[in-house]
């Protein structure tokens, strides 16, 4: 089925000139490599049924291990892509790429094992695990941007975001029943605005108390309204119901976007307060702006001025 695309300057724009397109899903650039490696392991599967029972089981086990290793590696790459896309993130709980590399080595060793050649199979397995590490790299092993962040509050934010995402998924699944691409795009635009709020709260978990109603009650109401609208629209194609639902979504978008901007401006206010408090403390200690060391003025020095004005003089001449 053809899909209608629109943008800021397209005719019949859905959301006006300030609308933001839905965000593309995050994908690691090495994800495609796992499919090639799985395809390269298919000889284990294809030749297994022409071997004696013991070799057949070994080949089937080797292919199963390789396929499982690539699946685990693909999950690790996806987790790494999500980790890199965020300014604050925790390291993955399970080092999937590490386990995928170990399983790759074991699979190659099992597939290459022959009576009296165990040491050779072990060398092949070790080489396979090493090449896996060189091809996909290590897992993120440290938290990023979590300095000074309350872990308990961060867990609460994660649970609220997960709950809000379930409501958004329910909206998407409900509107998909209508088969209307414009309505599906409308929901995608709404999700993009809500994700902005999610990201802001994830960066500053202290804002959770101010937006819990938005991430829970309001999204739940939007999901329920979307489900009822989809059920009605599938049966009647009522244009008035469609207009009412789109107006509701527009009002929600306005409120979510305003709330996100308010949180950002609140962060700026907090920064100004911290700077003001610190300056007051320095003033009480007797440190003023006049006490700061001034930069030496060497504008009268022709040699220094020449270097500043002519970058070529800073190079070493032979």
Question: Among residues 256, 139, 280, which one has the least CA distance to residue 198?
Answer: 256
What pTM was estimated for this model as a whole?
A: 0.54
Domain coordinates of the chain in residue numbers? 31-136, 151-284
Residue 281 confidence (pLDDT): 66
Alpha carbon distance 44, 61 (integer Å): 9
Which residue is associated with the tokens 């089937």? 60
Q: Are 82 and 112 in contact (CB under 8 A)?
A: no
Sort 62 into a burial class: Cβ within 10 Å, 0-12 / 13-18 / 19+. buried
Residue 146 confidence (pLDDT): 60
Listed in sequence order, the DSSP H helices in the chain are 31-40, 42-46, 53-85, 96-112, 118-136, 151-176, 181-203, 208-213, 219-236, 239-284, 302-309
Q: Are 269 and 209 in contact (CB under 8 A)?
A: no
Instruction: Please give the distance of CA 135 from its chain centroid, rounded to a whole number.
Output: 22
Sort 268 into a burial class: Cβ within 10 Å, 0-12 / 13-18 / 19+. exposed
Q: Which two tokens stand for residue 232?
A: 């009605």
Question: Among residues 193, 229, 189, which one has the least CA distance to residue 6?
Answer: 189
Alpha carbon distance 224, 248 (integer Å): 12
Q: Which two tokens stand for residue 96?
A: 């999937």
Which residue is associated with the tokens 């300014």? 87
End-to-end Cα distance, the chain: 69
Question: Among residues 131, 92, 85, 90, which one has the least CA distance to residue 108?
Answer: 131
Residue 269 confidence (pLDDT): 56
Which residue is associated with the tokens 């709980």? 93
User: 301 vs 159, 230, 296, 317, CA distance in Å?
Assistant: 63, 77, 11, 21
Q: What is the DSSP letter of 144?
A: B
Alpha carbon distance 288, 285 (integer Å): 9
Rounded average pLDDT per 10-residue block, the chain, 318 residues:
42 45 69 90 89 89 94 92 76 89 93 81 92 91 66 74 89 90 91 86 71 82 90 89 90 86 66 64 63 51 45 43
Residue 289 confidence (pLDDT): 52
Q: Are 197 and 256 in contact (CB under 8 A)?
A: yes
Alpha carbon distance 84, 26 (integer Å): 10
Q: Are 230 and 177 in contact (CB under 8 A)?
A: yes
């Amino acid at each position: 089925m053809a899909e209608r695309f629109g943008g800021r300057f397209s005719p019949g724009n859905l959301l006006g000139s300030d609308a933001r397109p839905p965000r593309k899903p995050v994908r690691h650039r090495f994800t495609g490599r796992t499919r090639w490696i799985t395809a390269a392991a298919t000889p284990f599967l294809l030749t297994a049924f022409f071997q004696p029972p013991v070799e057949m089981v070994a080949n089937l086990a080797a292919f199963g291990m390789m396929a499982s290793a690539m699946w685990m590696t693909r999950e690790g790459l996806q987790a790494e892509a999500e980790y890199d896309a965020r300014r604050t993130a925790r390291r993955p709980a399970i080092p999937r790429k590490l386990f995928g590399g170990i399983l790759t080595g074991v699979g190659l060793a099992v597939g290459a094992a022959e009576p009296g050649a165990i040491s050779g199979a072990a060398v092949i397995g070790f080489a396979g695990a090493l090449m896996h590490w060189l091809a996909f790299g290590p897992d993120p092993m440290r938290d990023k941007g979590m300095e000074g962040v309350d872990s308990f509050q961060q867990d609460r934010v994660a649970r609220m975001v997960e709950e809000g995402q379930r409501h958004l998924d329910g909206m998407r699944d409900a509107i998909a029943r209508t088969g209307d691409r414009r309505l599906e795009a409308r929901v995608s635009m709404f999700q993009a605005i809500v994700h902005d709020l999610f990201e802001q709260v994830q960066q500053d978990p202290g804002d959770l108390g101010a937006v819990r109603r938005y991430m829970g009650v309001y999204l739940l109401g939007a999901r329920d309204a979307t489900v009822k609208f989809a059920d009605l629209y599938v049966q009647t194609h009522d244009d008035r119901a469609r207009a009412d639902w789109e107006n509701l979504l527009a009002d929600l978008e306005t409120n979510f976007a305003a709330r996100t901007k308010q949180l950002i401006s609140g962060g700026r206010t907090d920064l100004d307060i911290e700077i003001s408090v610190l300056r007051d403390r320095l003033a009480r200690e007797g440190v003023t702006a006049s006490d700061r060391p001034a930069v030496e003025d060497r504008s009268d020095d022709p040699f220094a001025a020449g270097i500043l004005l002519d970058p070529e003089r800073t190079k070493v001449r032979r």
